[in-house]
A and B are shown apart, each in its own frame.
Chain A
Amino acid sequence: MALDFHAVGHKTWRTIASIQTGVVLLILVVILAAVGTIVLQRPVTEPDEMQTAYSPQALRILDTLGLTDVFHSWWFLGLMLLVSLCIVAASVDRFPNSWRYFSRPYKYPDESFRRALHPQKSLAIADEESGLVAAERALHSLGFKPERVVREDHFGIFAERHRISELAVYIVHASLLLIFFGTIVDGLWGWSGYLSLNDGQTSNIVELHNGSKRTLPFAIRCDAAGQENYKDGTPKKWWSKLAVVEDGRDVQKKEIVVNDPLLYNGVRFYQASYGPNGKVDKFSLLATPSTGSGAQQEIGLAVNDTVSLDADTTVRFAEFFPDFAVRDGQVYKKSNYLENPAAHMVVTSKKAGKNFDVWLPQIDEVADNSKAPYQFQAADLQMGHYTGLQVSHEPGQWGVWSGVVLMGVGLAFVFYVVHMRFWVAPVRDPKTGKYSLWIGGSANRNRDAFEQRFNDLVAFVEEDLKGIPSTSPGKQLATVVSISH
């Protein structure tokens, strides 16, 4: 038997478009997302933290299943695509019906529709015209635009409002797809990384979060960066003065702070961190000849600078340790923080043809400062700082933001805009020959508030028919328009 492709396709379509599939998929998303918050995730968690948290076997299983990076795994992406597909299918499946409803308003209620309609009411009237005029007046006062409808088998009044409400749910679904689209664009063409600059440094190489490097077509220079503190010492503000350099020219300058990035060619530079880079900007020293004769002089040095102290002697700033430790006669760097600094100078005497190591402070295991022809005393130390920039390129974010705005609009329509319809028709009782005015109404949501409004309309028509000039219920009813909650 040949496979009936059409039937299979139809069945698949029905399955995808069904609300059950949607619900199952959403529940799956909820469960997997929850798992992704409970299991530690790479690359946010450092590898050694992962190893202390899980046994090697458990870690291998978690890694194989992709549970250590749920939100970037292929199956989570696949699931999100399935959800999108389901939203599209469900919308496409239901849209024609709603569109018919929207494009061809139902103006001529037939007999069975009228019988089943709730709420409805019949009022006694003298003749057809006076009844219809009264109803028109009532509808006008409610802010509707009543329309006389005439056909061979039916004549009466039709009035409606907020027909767009029937399509609101599609606006919400479309906005969700727009957001998904934006994130997918960002996933494919977007990137984000980190750029660390010292004062005055220029760079165009961004270290991406996946470990690779990206070269920008322009460079960023940090002119200055700094931190301001509150009185209690907690940081108040980090700032960096950045310049964009393209073809050797400064094309843009901006001082960025946290929450206020620099944008150039779709690439954003955010202030992410600030701190000492462990390097010396300028080291000021007081040098005194060891012989005791000769004046004390002040010199300023950066690392690797050489300065002449006299005709014979020079001093070179060889090494700097912001936080040092000594082991086996060697000096090591413990951290980049200025906790326990040490400076290494080399004093050269040409005449003697000798180099003397000088350490500040004196480190006995390494060198003896007193042998050098000059004695040094530290006067001032200016440390260099780096500014850490988060760099990202998100070409899809406009999809996301327009999706968010659209969703806000859509939700407002879904919850607070009601499609209301009123039908009015004069009816002649074939037995008695007397006329009555039939009024019916329908609303697509918030029916209890609508029923109140319907009753007000009927009351207004009744008053009008009695010939008593009624106080306009328009004002009172207008508050119901915005749908009370």
Chain B
Amino acid sequence: MTEIRSEIMQGTLDLMVLQTLNAMGPMHGYGIARRIEQLSENALVVNQGTIYLCLVRLLQKKWIKASWGTSENNRKAKFYSISKAGQKQLKTETEDWERISGVIGRLLQLTPGR
């Protein structure tokens, strides 16, 4: 059972949750976890419970908001949605990632002996 512990992995998970909420609108914990599983092809979240740790962190940083509602099958559930600050954070981090991946991509294109 790998657990997501390190800061970097936490950051990645944060990013994924923000992206999910931004793209899909308000969701509850189960929905977010399933979506991330699908996207990352089951690599990232093995233990679904840890999503709640990530959610409470994001809530504290005020990047997402929460409210109680009813789910598809009429169960009471807590729905999370992205906040304005969260959207801004998402934008900043996405740009950072793209810049980094661009640099690494160019780096990897350098073939030896050139």
Q: Does B bind A? A: no
Using a CB–CB cutoff of 8 Å, the interface residues on chain B facing chain A are: none
Using a CB–CB cutoff of 8 Å, the interface residues on chain A facing chain B are: none
